[in-house]
Amino acid sequence: MPDFTYIAKSLTGEKRSGTIAATSRSEAIQRLRSQALFPMSLADAKPKPGRLASISLPVRVKKEQVADFCTQLGDLLINGVPMLESLKILEGSTDNARLQQSILRIHDAISQGDSLDEAMAREPSVFSELTLSMVRAGQEGAFLEEALRRTSLFLRKQDEMRAEIVGALTYPIILGSVGTLITSLMVVFLVPKFQPFFDRLEQNGTGLPLITVLLQGASHALMNYGVFILLGLIVLGGGSGKLLKTERGRRWLDGVKLKLPLLGAIFHDAAISRACRVLGTLLKNGVPLLRSLKISSESTGNRLLEEALARSAENVTAGDSLSKPLAASGLIPPQIMAMIRVAEESNTLDEVLVKIADRIDNRIERRLEVIVRMIEPLMLVIIGGMVMFVIVGVLLPVFDLNSSVG
């Protein structure tokens, strides 16, 4: 009889953990409940591996795998399979260990009375805000199966776009990395070879060009403080990452994203597209406008737009139309506001919002394609400039010396 490790709560709210023997997970849960214990997590008890065997790389859950999970869960629910049984089937069929554990925890949470979106929200590293918003919308409007299917399609589209971008950026990234490495090696090992020559020029009163002085400073900094600079960058990156995870840091970052040249328009359009798609889907399936605004605001991925939609919900409650507070926020382009205003008057807001999202997604793809094409020649220019800076800084004193002698 296999053993299961558990973490459970008693009637008094005390957390307890241990192992229990049972022929299956359901029997283990029943035995715990018979002891007035309510399981929070339940897993197969396995012997502890050795110290070396316990070292493993973190497993990442790809968007494609999350899309497969949504598709398969929707198909099982459409065919009348109960939620808990569907999750149990998917938990046994997935190959990704991390996703398998997430599904297992979702199963246990739902068995204790949580809704699907509440259980999925406890796995933020697996399920995005958009996925949670769509699932929440499906439960609100009683169209969970369709919401899962739409989520799957959106995730696959995102994954395809990401794969295209990564494929196009592979060469520029390799070029930039190799070029930066070569330039750094030249600064560290090549420039010091010319230092005696530079010293003689300064002693003779000839002096050094500004570019050579800057090159000497860079070489000195990398040779003497390179390790400290690297450690400082690592600490700065780690501290910035923790700061940006806070609410204040997240809001600041979202504001910066919208102001970035070229990429700012893409971040802005992506947030609006998400909000329009979710809001249109909710309205189409009969979810009330106020509730739809609340759910769609959480799916934007941008705190500023989320606050604008929240304010819109407040104004709609006071009797205003949706277009008026959205236009006042200044975050929605005028042409989109015009379409929303006309759609409100013609009572076709749900259809128009989805069409707006489709048009925005097409525009995002075109802009990304242009930016990716610009990166490769730009990277060549930057690397060429770095190498030219080193070469000119080293050789310019030689040319100046020859001209003065001549």
Do 322 and 316 contact (CB within 8 A), yes or no?
A: yes
Three-class SS of residue 278? helix
Other beta carbons less than 10 A from residue 5's beta carbon: 15
Q: Which residues of 251-262 are buried (b: 16+ CB within 10 A; e: fewer)?
A: beebeebbeeee
> Based on the domain organization, do 38 and 67 belong to the same domain?
no
CA angle 68, 73, 77 (to 5 degrees): 150
Q: Which pair of structure tokens corresponds to residue 315?
A: 């104004």
Phi (first) and psi of residue 141, to 5 degrees: -100, 10
Binned average pLDDT, 10 residues per bin, the chain of 406 residues: 70 74 71 74 59 51 87 89 88 84 88 87 84 82 84 81 75 85 86 83 76 87 84 87 81 83 82 82 78 76 78 68 69 79 79 86 84 83 88 81 59
Q: Are residues 81 and 36 in the same domain?
A: no
Asked if 31 and 11 count as a contact pair (C-beta separation under 8 A), the reply is no
Residue that finishes a domain, picked among 97, 124, 158: 158
The contacts of residue 325 (CB under 8 Å, 6+ apart) are 308, 311, 312, 314, 315, 316
CB 87 within 8 A of CB 106: yes
Q: How far is it, in rounded angstroms, from Cα 353 to Cα 340?
A: 7
How far is C-alpha 162 from the geometric centre of its chain's CA atoms?
11
CA 174, chain centre distance (Å): 23
35 and 69 co-located in one domain: no
Q: What per-residue confidence (pLDDT) applies to 54?
A: 43
Give Cα separations from 87 to 99, 119, 196 (angstroms): 12, 12, 72
- Stated length of the chain: 406
Largest CA distance in the chain: 101
Q: Which amino acid is at 217?
A: G
Within-domain flag for 282: yes
Q: Is 140 part of a structural domain of the chain?
A: yes
Q: Of 338, 361, 384, which one is at a domain's C-terminal end?
A: 361
Q: What are phi and psi of 8, to 5 degrees?
A: -140, 165
The verdict on residue 264 lying in a domain is yes
Please spell the DSSP secondary structure of 13-25, one letter per residue: --EEEEEEE-SSH
Name the domain count of the chain: 3
Q: How far is 206 from 101, CA to CA, in rounded Å?
A: 71
Instruction: Give the 3-state secondary structure of residue 282.
Output: helix
User: At 112, which CATH number?
Assistant: 1.20.81.30
- Gyration radius of the chain over CA positions: 29
Q: Which two tokens stand for residue 157?
A: 């589209």
Inside any domain, residue 207: no
**Whether 110 and 75 share a structural domain:** yes
- Same structural domain for residues 72 and 15? no
Q: How far apart are CA 357 and CA 251, in angstroms?
A: 24
Same domain, 17 and 72: no
72 located within any domain: yes
The Cα–Cα gap between 131 and 128 comes to 5
pLDDT attached to residue 403: 61
Q: Contact at 8 Å (CB) between 116 and 135?
A: yes
Residue 146 lies in a domain: yes
Cβ partners under 8 Å of residue 147, min gap 6: 134, 135, 137, 138, 139, 141, 281
**Is 167 within a domain?**
no
Contact in structure between 131 and 155 (CB atoms under 8 Å)? yes
pLDDT at 53: 42
pLDDT value, residue 296: 77
CB neighbours of residue 269 within 10 Å? 19
Helices (H) and strands (E) in the chain, counts: 16, 3
**What stretches of 122-209 show up as alpha helix (H) in DSSP?**
129-140, 144-185, 195-203
30 and 81 share a domain?
no
- End of a domain among 140, 158, 176? 158
Say if residues 302 and 331 touch (Cβ distance below 8 Å).
no
In a domain, 392, yes or no: no
Give the pLDDT score at 317: 67
Q: Which domain holds residue 298?
A: 259-361
* Cβ–Cβ under 8 Å, residues 110 and 97: no
Read off the pTM: 0.65
User: What is the DSSP secondary structure assignment for residue 301, as one 8-state letter?
Assistant: S
d(CA 205, CA 221): 25
For residues 68 and 40, membership in a common domain is answered with no
Residue type, 101: Q
